[in-house]
Every structure is written in C-alpha cells, then in structure tokens.
Amino acid sequence: MKSVDAHIHLSDPEYRNKINQLIEDAKHSNVLALISNSMNLETSYKSLQLAEENPNIVYAALGIHPWNSQNLKPHEIEETANLIVKEASARRIVAIGEIGLDPQYAKNEEQQKMQHKAFYEMLSAAEKTSLPIIIHSRGSSEEIMSLLPSYHVKKVLFHWFIRPIKLLHMIVDRGYYISEGPASVFSKGVKEVIKRVPLSNLLTETDGPVQFFGPFKNKMTTPSFIPLVVNAIAQIKGAEEAEVANQILQNFTNFFEITIV
C-alpha cells in the first residue's frame, strides 16, 4: 500500500545524522514521498540540500514558520522570499511551507508585526510563483481564512487542523486541503475533523520530529507512522485502507504536482 508524508521537518536539527535512517524507514514502510518543510532561511537551504541528495523521495518546501518571528535575523524574511522565487523558477521546490500565524509565538506587539510581515511576504512569494502553501494556523484559522482571498494563492493546505470545526465547510468549499498525522489515532478532535472532511481533501503527515502520545509515546517520529494514520482514517471513514491510500496518493499528486515514481 503506497502512502505519502506531506509534512515532515527533515531539516530540523533533531533529525541531524538520522536522515539515512528516516529515508530507509520510509522505503520500508512504502512511504513514497516526503515533503521537507522548513522553519527559516537556514532550514530552507537544508531542505533544498536534502531534496537534491534524495531525489524522487524528498521534496523541498521553503518558508518561515510563525515560531521564528521571535528570532529572525535582519533581512531574513526578504532573503527567504527571494530564495523561494529563485528556486521555484528552477523547479527545485514544490511548495512554500511551513508558514502561517500563531498568537502563542508572538509575545508582544513587535513580534506580532514581524510574524504578520513574514506571512504576508510568504503569501506574496506564493502569488509570484504559483506554488502551493502549507499553513500553520493554531489560534489563527479564522484570520488566515479572511486573509487568503486577498492573495492569488494557487493551492492551500492547512496542516494539523483541529479547530474551529465551523470553518471546515468553508475550507472544503474553497477546495483547500487538510493534512492530519499520528494524532488521528488517538485524538478526538482530529478524528472529528477527519470525519467531516471529504477524503478528496485529505492528506497524511507526521510533522516529525514532533513527538506524539498514545501508541507513539517516547518514540522518534518517523515515516513508519504513516500507514497507521491511513488505517485510522479508513476506520473513521468506514472505508477500505486501499481506497484511502489511493485517494490520498491522488490528492498528493494533484496538490504538489509531483509524479510518484
């Protein structure tokens, strides 16, 4: 059964010296593609490197995570946006991510302004490149949904979306996607989202190196978790695992415009 990881942070320092292990783990688990999401300029360069070193399985998404609004270097937003435009023209990246807003990571007005500036610049880069965007929206989903129509963004993926549930119909109506990960095995909130979102709008992820509870407690997050996520979605949907896996693979291909080898 073929599957995919639409959101993993391979360029995170926690995964340093573990990339070969993670790639082998993916192959052993029949996870055919990993989208390496970035957090800042440094990890964006690292994601590019990993995609180059591991063709046809690792694909790069570049961007600035809202967490980094607290410690951005001078000109880092502009340099990251310029890098995105440059690498998009060379067809070396498949998305802009992880980007978004999160009030928990902005402790004062200055950090809030910086977080919004980074998000606006990433959205502008998406307009210039027609690349899909991968969004972190904790505590900010409604604000982000109100902002998106102001930008001509091609495709939108809300990663690890939990709330508010009332937004789901709008997300689906706009043709946006939602990705869920290992929490789908044990989280009532995530299960409720999966139940309400059509299979045609769902993708699977791990969000590694973030660690999880339930059967994943105290385990390093790896692509081997993905088949368990597919199984959880199948149970929630009352569908066959093969049907779920095939649809998610098709969703992945449509969203990222990647041909799975």
Is the model's pLDDT at 228 over the cut of 80?
yes
For 118, 136, 138, 141, the CA distances from 100, given in Å and listed in that order, are: 8, 5, 9, 9
**Residues 255-261, mean pLDDT to the nearest whole number:** 88
Asked if residue 209 has a cis previous peptide bond (ω within 30° of 0), the answer is yes
Q: Is residue 18 part of a domain?
A: yes
Quote the tokens at residue 19.
Answer: 């990339």
Question: Which residue has 């989208």 as its token pair?
Answer: 35
pLDDT digits (tens, 9 = 90+) for 1-51: 899 999 999 999 999 999 999 999 999 999 999 999 999 999 999 999 999
Please write the tens of the pLDDT for every residue from 193-204.
Answer: 999 999 999 999
75 lies in some domain: yes
Q: Residue 205: is the preceding peptide bond cis (ω within 30°)?
A: no
Average pLDDT taken over every residue of the chain: 96
**pLDDT tens, position by position, 42-62:** 999 999 999 999 999 999 999
Section 212-221 average pLDDT: 93
CB neighbourhood size of 220 (10 A): 16
pLDDT at 183 over 90: yes
What is the mean predicted confidence (pLDDT) over 77-99? 96
Q: Is the pLDDT of residue 261 over 90?
A: no
| 16: CATH | 3.20.20.140
Domain that holds residue 81: 3-256
Predicted confidence (pLDDT) at residue 176 exceeds the cutoff of 80: yes
pLDDT of residue 150: 95
Percent of the chain residues topping a pLDDT of 90: 90
Amino acid 154: pLDDT: 84
pLDDT average, residue stretch 153-162 = 95
Q: How many domains does the chain have?
A: 1
User: How does pLDDT run across 102-154, given as a tens digit for each residue?
Assistant: 999 888 888 899 999 999 999 999 999 999 999 999 999 999 999 999 999 98
d(CA 195, CA 23) in angstroms, rounded, equals: 31
* Number of residues in the chain: 261
Residue 261 lies in a domain: no
